[in-house]
Structure 1
Amino acid sequence: MWRIALKMLLGDTAKFCGILMGLTFAAILMMQQGAIFCGLMKRTAGQINDISGVDLWVMDPNVRHIDDVKAMMESNLHRVRGVDGVLWAVPLYKGSGRAKLNTTDANGEPATMIESVILLGLDDTTLVGAPQPEKIVVGELLDLRMPDAIIIDKMQLPKYYPGEPWGDLEKLGDAFYRRFLGREMEMNDHRATIVGICKAAPTFGSNAVVYTTYGRAKQFVAQERKVLSFILVRTDPTWKAEDVARNIRAKTGLGAMRAADFARQTIFFFLTNTGIVINFGITSLLGLFVGTAIAGQTFYLFTVDNLKQFGALKAMGATNPRIVGMILLQASVVGLIGYGLGVGISTFVADRASAGGGEVEFFVWWPLLPMTAIVVVLICIFSSLLCIRRVMVLEPAVVFRG
């Protein structure tokens, strides 16, 4: 009986492909939109995860996320260093800067460009918060101590230097990026010289990330009374990070939390205070409805066209549960194939897009796989119910009519 069910399913190629198309489309849309959504959420906390080697982030107690910078007095750094359980603490400046540079446009004509950048000022002595050595494409981290030195994110270089022969970004080697070393730009009437190029974590606003020292960052931005953005803390190994954070909050009145907690708080803020969830949810529901409509209607028509075959099986003694099992087998087969095709295509596209370093980041988070599988199963169940009802009331005598 199961072989007969599969032969009936594969016998009508047009309807079989139609059912697969609906299920594959639903799986692709769910996976693609889910991967883009997860990629955006990952970007919101990208700079937190990009800084390694610290246990706690200390900030103004009213800070809600990484981009919600509320500057503090620099004296707070010494107060944090005096808290029990703090092994060391260093300052971190994070703010927006305006970079002015003389470049050439796509036609090779001279042009002046002014762009906003995310400026990160690292501790002058330790350079804590700098990119990891494997993420520095060209240049040396210690060159950051040279006069006017900055290290810039390579992802936005095509936007700043459109006249360069970029071509395929995946094939560009270190020799190509070395041509940018020594180039200058102007920030707050101060000269900034590129001494290194790195791979920084993509940000939510897609602005270039510029690394420099803490003291130089204060020169690159307008002078204010409060300039300290965050304090990065390493805790004593004999202390729990949660206990040290509690001590800092109690003795200084500042906010303190682990990096993972700060990242989750940032992601939760964007989830609850922006329309991202609603927009992606509507698109995903659209994929569910369209996939259900295509697969359900095609599967129903397939069953109607095979009513005589089902009637013949009933006339030969096949019971209703056996017929229902055949329909469920057919739905399971097309569901598995459609799910596999959809996930495979989406993963391939996400891998190629991530390798190309485009503005849209795909992040295939593992829960997307079972979630998409559940959606495909629901579509198959709904399609099967439409068919089962028609077959259950079928009279075997239908095979002898007309």
Structure 2
Amino acid sequence: MLWIAIRMLTGDKQKFYGLVFGIAFSTLLITQQLTIFVNLIERGASGAYNVGEAEVWVMDPVSRTTDVAYALPPTALDAVRGVPGVDWAVPHLRSSASVRTRDGDLEGVAIIGVDDATLIGLPKRMAEGSIDVLSQPDSVIIDDVGAVNMFGEGRDPIGERLELNDQRAVVRAIADATPSFTSQVTLYTKYSQALNYVPGTRNRMSFVLAGVADGLTAEEVADRIESQTGLKAETRDEFAQAGVDFIIENTGIPTNFGITVVLGFVVGVAIVGLTFSLFIRDNIKQFGALKAIGVTNGRILRMVTVQAALVGLIGYGLGVLGTVAFLWGFSGSPFFKGFYIPWQIPLVSLVAVILILAITGVLALRSVFRTEPASVFR
């Protein structure tokens, strides 16, 4: 009987392909949009994860993310260093600035000042050059995505001269860093040099980065810092999550992507439901004949379930492969750097496909169950 069900399904090629297309399109839309959404909001955590050495981030109590921070007074650094359990602590500056290129273009950039002695605050990997270039005068390191955005594809930024706050800056290396949410150009330099590049204010230290002594956890040291200094201290994971939450709470991205995902589900139900109903209607005589020779509604339900499973398996596979092909095709674009498909997303798409097939199958089977066996002889 199950083989008969498959032959009935594949015998009508137009409706079979229509069902497969409906499932594949719905799966592609849901999987692709969820993948882009997750990767975009995860970039809110890039500022914290690009600094691999910092186990604890110390900031003003009103600061929220790496990009939304209130400057600390210089005394905060010594206060953090005096907390028991802090292995080391270094200053960290993050600020926005306008830069003028050699061609006369004006660009908005993010300036990151790292500790002069240890260079803690730089990304873990370098795409070109070495972190040692910061020992040279007026040196800056540009992130790889920012290099493409500022200078264009195929142009080597090494040696390019920039003007920052009437100060000279020379690009001497390229960092392999996770892009920020806005993909803004990021320039890394020493803390002392960064103070010359950003407009002068009384307090300019954005954060204090701290390490944890052996035998203690980051959570314990963060609690000690908060209780003894009155500043806010968060572990790297907590601060990264705060960046993600800030994007979710303050942008329309979740709503926009959520609408697209819902539309993908609705379109899948519409296409598959209509095509499945037409398939059942065109084969109502065959189902009636089966009931006339003694096939029960339960057996017919299993037959339709096999048909739906076959269509769902093929369509789901094509949809997921389409998402993989999409990411592979745009892997060379700096805007899609580091994009991946979390394992939870294909599971969400699979559940959506099962719901689509269940809803459309139940609606289509009503006419079959109401069909009288004698109707086939009329």
Specify the TM-score bucket, using the shorter chain as the normaliser: over 0.9
Measured after TM superposition, the shift of residue 201 of structure 1 is 1.1
Tell me if the contact between 2:48 and 2:236 (Cα under 8 Å) persists in the aligned partners: yes
The alpha-carbon deviation at position 360 of structure 1 amounts to 7.8
Letter in 2 for 1:238: G
Q: What do residues 49-77 of structure 1 show as CA deviations (whole Å, max 9, x unaligned)? A: 11102210111111122211110001100
Give the ranges of 4+ consecutive aligned residues of structure 1 lying more than 4 Å apart after TM superposition.
none
TM-score (norm 1): 0.91
2:21 paired residue number? 21
**Are the counterparts in 2 of residues 91 and 230 from structure 1 also a CA contact under 8 Å?**
yes
Q: Which residue of 153, 159, 162 corresponds with 2:149?
A: 159
Counterpart Cα distance in 2 of 1:361 and 1:147:
32
**Contact kept in structure 1, 2:90 and 2:208, CA below 8 Å:** yes
Percent identity among equivalent residues? Answer: 40
1:399: Cα distance to partner? 1.9
What SS is found at the alignment partner of 1:205?
coil
Question: Residue 150 of structure 1 aligns with which residue?
Answer: 140
The 8 Å contact of residues 308 and 399 in structure 1, kept in 2 or not, is answered as yes
The answer to whether the 8 Å contact 2:59/2:207 transfers is: yes
1:129 paired to 2:113: no
Give the counterpart letter for 2:202 in structure 1: R
How far apart are 1:359 and its partner, in Å? 5.4
Q: Does 1:358 align with 2:335?
A: yes
Residues 1:43 and 1:87: Cα distance change in structure 2 (over 3 Å)? same
For residues 343-400 of structure 1, the C-alpha deviation after alignment (integer angstroms, 9 at most, x for no partner) is 1110221233234333587431211111111100000001100121111111112222
Which blocks of at least 5 consecutive residues in structure 2 are unaligned? Answer: none
Paired AA for residue 140 in structure 2: I
Rounded Cα–Cα distance in structure 2 between residues aligned with 1:348 and 1:362 = 12
- Contact 1:38–1:362 (8 Å) recurs in 2: no
The answer as to whether partners of 1:206 and 1:359 remain within 8 angstroms in 2 is: no
Q: Which of 366, 379, 382 matches 2:359?
A: 382
Query: Is it true that 1:92 corresponds to 2:92 in the alignment?
Result: yes
Contact 2:148 2:334 in 1 (8 A): no
Name whichever of 153-162 and 312-321 sits farther off.
Answer: 153-162
Shift of 1:156: 2.7
Q: Of 181, 203, 216, which residue of structure 1 is paired with 2:158? A: 181
Root-mean-square deviation (CA), in Å? 1.4
Contact 1:291 1:379 in 2 (8 A): yes
Q: Is the 8 A contact 1:36 1:360 kept in 2?
A: no
Q: 1:100 to 1:69 in 2, by over 3 A?
A: same
Q: Contact between 1:40 and 1:361, CA under 8 Å: does it hold in 2?
A: no
SS class of match (1:45): helix
The structure-2 alpha-carbon separation of the partners of 1:38 and 1:256, relative to structure 1 and needing over 3 Å to count, comes to same
Aligned residues: 378
1:321 maps to: 298
Tell me, yes or no, if the aligned pair for 1:149 and 1:194 is still in contact at 8 Å: yes
Aligned amino acid, residue 110 of structure 2: I
Q: 1:138 aligns with which of 128, 131, 138?
A: 128
Partner of 1:296, secondary structure, is helix
TM-score by length of 2: 0.97
Aligned to 1:303: 280
Deviation at 1:328, TM superposition (A): 1.1
Kindly indicate whether the alpha-carbon contact (under 8 Å) linking 2:178 and 2:338 is maintained by their aligned counterparts in 1.
Answer: no
Aligned partner of 2:141: which letter? Answer: I
Q: Verify: 1:71 aligned to 2:48, yes or no.
A: no
Per-residue Cα deviation, 1:248-268 (whole angstroms, up to 9, x for no partner): 001100000110011112211
AA partner of residue 191 (structure 2): Y
Residue 119 of structure 2 aligns with an amino acid whose one-letter code is L
Partner secondary structure for residue 204 of structure 2: coil
Please give the per-residue CA displacement for 1:217-257, whole angstroms capped at 9, x wherever unaligned: 01001111011101111010111211111110011000001
Is the 8 Å Cα contact of residues 56 and 258 (structure 1) preserved in structure 2? Answer: yes
1:343 pairs with 2:333: no
- 1:36–1:361 Cα contact (<8 Å) kept: no
Q: Which residue of 1 aligns with 2:229?
A: 252
- Measured after TM superposition, the shift of residue 153 of structure 1 is 1.3
SS state at 2:330 partner: helix
Q: Which amino acid aligns with 1:54?
A: A
- Aligned partners of 1:305, 1:118: CA distance in 2, in Å? 63
263, 266, 269: which one aligns with 2:243: 266
Q: 1:202 aligns with which of 179, 184, 194?
A: 179
Please report how far the alpha carbon of residue 273 of structure 1 lies from its aligned counterpart in structure 2 after TM superposition: 2.3
Q: Which amino acid in 2 is paired with 1:113?
A: D
Deviation per CA, 1:315-359: give whole Å up to 9, x if none: 111011001111111111111111111011102212332343335
Out of 249, 260, 270, the residue aligned to residue 283 of structure 1 is 260
Cα distance between partner residues in 2 of 1:304 and 1:26: 24
- Residue of structure 1 in register with 2:204 after alignment: 227
Distance 1:336 1:83 in 2: 58
Q: Secondary structure at the match of 2:137?
A: coil
Partners of 1:86 and 1:358 in 2: CA distance: 37
State the SS of the aligned residue for 2:23.
helix
For residues 298 and 68 of structure 1, what CA distance do their matches in structure 2 show? 51
